[in-house]
A = this chain, B = another copy of it.
Amino acid sequence: MAEITDGGASRAGDGENVAPMEEGPRRLRADAERNRRRLLDAATEVFSERGLEVGVGEIAQRAGVGRGTLFRNFPSKEDLIAAIVVERFRESIARGAALLEADDPGEALFTLLDQALTRSETDRALFEALDDAWLCRKDIGAVHTEMLTMLDALVRRAQEAGAVRADIGAVDILVLVKGMCEATRSLRHLDGDFELRQLDLVRAAICAPGHQRPLRGRPPTMHEFELRRPPAGRSAAVSG
């Protein structure tokens, strides 16, 4: 039915070098393992290019397998998307954890937000999954909690350093950044500076009093907004 349901966390995406006696996901046959990876790669590619509405048939074809194989590895299209989302979440958490070692705690946080914006095109499935309907899945809820834990540590360090306002929390920032990245991604006909301005606005919102900076670039005029519109934009599906 293509609605977000609780898909359980069986075979939660790890995939690489599973220890022989590990719990959880049973070892896959070599060809199955390869097919699974091909499906994830093909789906990641088309999803970031054209969004979540691309058909499972095309994904299977691009991965060089039959449609049935896709549904053997992922009980539903939603589960396929969730597996990708979990992978992207893990990567993002790893980047954040690395930034916990950085010298300047304030810049460390802002660097993470910058990375989020930069990757918001390829990670679009990740951002779309940051809502009630997806978070109630056990697998996504789990990595999301890890994400918040990491972000919380980064925010506290930045607050102790006096770079970020004291009355804000990790959830506040995550939601603000999610919205900004998605709104910016869907207006890609505006030039690159526009994204940086939006990032600067988020920074202005969360920085400590007295740390104000000017926005990069200059405000797009209505005229620019009109002119740069794509000639025959087709991308967002209404349904299917």
Contact = CB atoms under 8 A, between A and B. Distances in A.
B183 A232 contact: no
B171 A234 contact: no
Copies of this chain held together in the complex: 2
Interface string A86-112: 000000000000000000000000000
Contacts of A179: 178-184, 198
A167 B212 CA distance: 12
Nearest to A169: B219
Contacts of A188: 132
B134 A236 contact: yes
Contacts of A209: 212
Interface in A191-228: 194, 197-198, 201-202, 204-206, 209, 212, 214-215, 218-222, 225-226
Q: Nearest 6 pairs between A and B by C-beta?
A: A169-B219, A179-B183, A179-B179, A131-B186, A205-B205, A133-B236
Given A136-B230, A171-B220, A209-B212, A238 B201 contact: no
Contacts of A9: none
A180 B219 CA distance: 19
Contacts of A206: 201, 204
A214 B222 CA distance: 32
A132 B236 CA distance: 9
Contacts of A194: 171, 175
21 contacts: A2-B237, A2-B238, A52-B238, A132-B189, A133-B233, A133-B235, A133-B236, A145-B222, A149-B222, A152-B222, A167-B218, A168-B201, A168-B219, A171-B194, A175-B184, A176-B183, A176-B198, A176-B201, A179-B181, A202-B205, A204-B204
